[in-house]
Structures are given as C-alpha cells and as structure tokens.
Amino acid sequence: MRSLQGLKVTVWRAYSTAKSAPVIAAKHPFKVQLKSGKLYPWCSCGHSKKQPFCDGSHRKAAPDLAPLRFTLTEDKEAWLCGCKQTKTPPYCDGTHKQSYVQECTQEPNQ
C-alpha cells in the first residue's frame, strides 16, 4: 500500500507486466466527488461502461488488467483519468492532451 495526497492505493497492477494494453475510454478526465473511507475501483483497462470506475468488463476484455482500488482519507473533488494513459493513476496528469490520445480512432470494447 502507498499513500499519495491523501490517497490509499489498496491494489495496483503495473501496466508494464500486463499483456493487455488499456484502451482509451475517453479523451478527457472525469470530475468526481469522492468520499473519505469509501473504496473506489478506478477502471484501468478502459472497457468499463461506467467510466471512470470499473464495471467488471476487464474480466472478459482484458483479464490480465485489474481496477485500481483506492480510498481517500478526506472528502475530495478530483479529476480521474479517462484516457487510461496517466502516469499518476487514478488522477489525470494531462497525458490526454497528447496527440496520440486526441488523434486515436480506436473505440473501446472492439
């Protein structure tokens, strides 16, 4: 477990060890209101229909990827990554502004 800006990450699987690559679910982040102590499953595969959170789609679409489960120590408004390319998951780090994300024509779940 690691702690970063009031964030407790309880499960993390690095992209570099996974065979599946995440798909770009959205070309923008999602603004969300997060509650202290609640466990949130951030979608890391991009296949979920409930972005930015997991709906279990990774089990079929990308079984070697798993959601990033996290809790916060305080209530917080946050921008969670929708492109699944961030280096600071689950938060947006601006990577979605890169041309390889904005010009991507790949559709999730295909």
Task: Quickly count: other Cβ atoms within 10 Å of residue 17's Cβ.
Answer: 7
Q: Which residues contact 23 (CB under 8 A, 6 or more apart)?
A: 45, 46, 47, 84, 106, 108, 109
Residues forming contacts to ligand FES in the complex (CB under 6 A) are: 28-29, 81-83, 85-86, 92-96
CB of 43 to ligand FES, least distance (A): 11
Nearer to ligand FES, 21 or 36 (CB): 21
Nearer to ligand FES, 27 or 59 (CB): 27
Entry field: residues in the chain: 110
Nearer to ligand FES, 37 or 94 (CB): 94
